[in-house]
Structure 1
Amino acid sequence: REEKTYSINNLPPDRPGSLLSVWSLIKQATRILQHCAKVRLSLSHNYRVCCWKMVPEINTRNILPVLLEDSLIPSVGRFLAYSDDKVHAVFLDGVTLTLNWNLSSSIEKRQVNQGLNLGWCRLTFPDGQDQLIQIEHPGAYERYVATVTSWCRRLTQSSSRQVPTHPSSTLEENWSVASELEKIQKFNLLLENSGVLNQTSNKTNEQCSSETLLEEVDEKRVSVALKKTSEILQDIDFLLSNSKK
């Protein structure tokens, strides 16, 4: 088994008597790929609908996708992005460019064309002629390609930032207050239904009653001690008075 890589722009000539024409095979494959790319870059938005996938008795009319972004850039043109990842740009000089760009791609990717899901774009000129251009090698049409891809990258980044990873302080405070209130409500509900409050109240009552008993006992002891002290003082006074006589 032998594998070889050929360049489309520099194909080897056919060998006389060879049963296989590499030049013809690669040219046919290139035309098929270009046709598929043109279909995907067309404005019909129905390149996914195939004749062999159509189910009878089902309405297969074309439904246009949702327009996600419509930007009018001064001195440049109008750029449109659709929900089927198709981007269409109309420049002021009459040139239009169409490409497929994944608007949901993450901004954390470090690729230059991070959302690009097709390596080709379609240029349509004012005279109606169109041409497929490689994104990475646009050649003389680099100005158009670079402008559109730059707009797509900005759009992807802005759409990613619309989903905040860290909520603002106000939202966080409101969320914290609501969360704490909910916790308190749940805690109170659990206490009411678990009977812990009744047990606690009973224990509190028992503790209060025991403390009351202790206080009463202490008061009795103090009163007894004071009474004895008073009797002793009276005896001392009586003895002193008798000794003076």
Structure 2
Amino acid sequence: METSVSDSLMIMYEDESVDVRYGNGAQLQMSPCGCEFTMVKPKDPSGHPLQPTERIRQRTRFTISAYKEFMVAALEFRNKYASRPYLPEELIPADQKQPFVSIDSDVQWPKWSSCAAELGPGGKTIIRSEEGRAALMLSASGEEFSVEFRCSLSQTRIQRCSMQGFSRDSDSSPGNQHQQQLVRNLICQASNVEDKETKPEEMYQSTTVVQHHSCCAVDPTWCYPLSLARHLWTARLSKAKEIRTVETSNNTQEHESINITISITERRSHLPQALPLTCPSPHWHRWTVKDGLVEHPDQDLPTELLKVMWCQGVTYRILSGTVPVIEVSPGDGSVMRSNCVLNNYFTHHKPELRSGQVKEVTYHLNNLPPDVPGQLYSVCSIVSRASRILACYNEAKQSLKLPATPSCLQEGRRSSQPARMEEHLLNLVSFEQHLNVTQTLENRSDLVAAELEKIKRFNFLLENNHLITSDKGCGKLESSSPQDVNHEPVNEDCIADALQKTFKAIQDIDALISAATLT
């Protein structure tokens, strides 16, 4: 199939399925798990008009050499924005594979007091984990970031179980060596490899995964390292501003001396793990491939709920929420973002490397700047296309009356959700007392409502205290004798104790409100 990967339109939908459309009319659609794909070949110009287009459906890891280049490009795009990567060994170049050292997916980030940032290319602020297995790179605009980490390749269930056995028995004691030998034998029997045993470093390999994220939608995994990067990024901007304005104040020194105490648990992050080689729910794979696709992507914008769209080197990302927002990354380190309800306005965050500052420019759809010869991209074209994508997204969201068909990834997420929620709960609750990186206002509202309900009940008891202490009311209690009632009267000590509990509840509410407004 003669076409160029660069001459394409790549789309990821909210269910993490991928749709790639090429300039010659071909189309590739990948399942949310990445295990399977459908390819529609372009129509033959010399063929009969009624001749149907040729469709091919294959397993991703077993794709033929004619489609391998397209699979690699589609998987690279998918893994950048998906929650979990799909990493089949057959499509990973040999120079990018390394034997795994540890299957432990937890990494620990440095302390605030001892953290030192690297200044990367393009003004990026780089934070590395203590083990060196993960790195976070904040863009010069401070509006988006990327993460880079080592991840084991996708495996079958048998390989995962055996790898867990190697991890548990990693020491060199005689008993553990015997257990490792048993595990190797089981692996060889399951794989029909009886002539020789496969070494663990040959069977289990890892590669580097790069993911792109928006600072307006941060996964709990990256909250703490992002806070480190933003702290150092802000300090560098303050220092650059002081140097530029030649001020002799001590604001920078005071800012850099801030030290926040974070526990070891809060400094740990659970890295995303690769999806399995085979999908547990292939019956949920659905294909919406259309015939006769137009050549120009602007005339065929998707009508489903999309997550990310890449076109002509520009990335468009939808930040879903009560009011959807579209974020644009032109590729030069700057970020354009629509302004919530006023979606006719876009704010362009443009970093200036020489001065170290970030310039904000506001555009209106009816008054976009004209194109200038020699500029890297057309602001008018990018903002206009972003507005059309956002309009299509809002229209598709309003037209969805029935719940969406479940994807093959939801079953795996449903089984792992309790463990992840329990893991991230402590990190979020304690960490948000220091930084306002993510919002959990709904949980806080429930807690505040519960505390207010306690106060209402206490006030009711105080207002009706005469009913409790009256001898007539006490005498009507069938379950207690008069001696029992008089044994614990409602006195000043009881009221003082209740007032103390109410005061503690009010303090808890003030602490929650302070944590929500802390910047």
The TM-score normalised by the length of structure 1 is 0.30
Higher strand fraction (1 or 2): 2
Higher Rg: 1
More helix by share: 1
Q: TM-score, normalised by structure 2?
A: 0.17
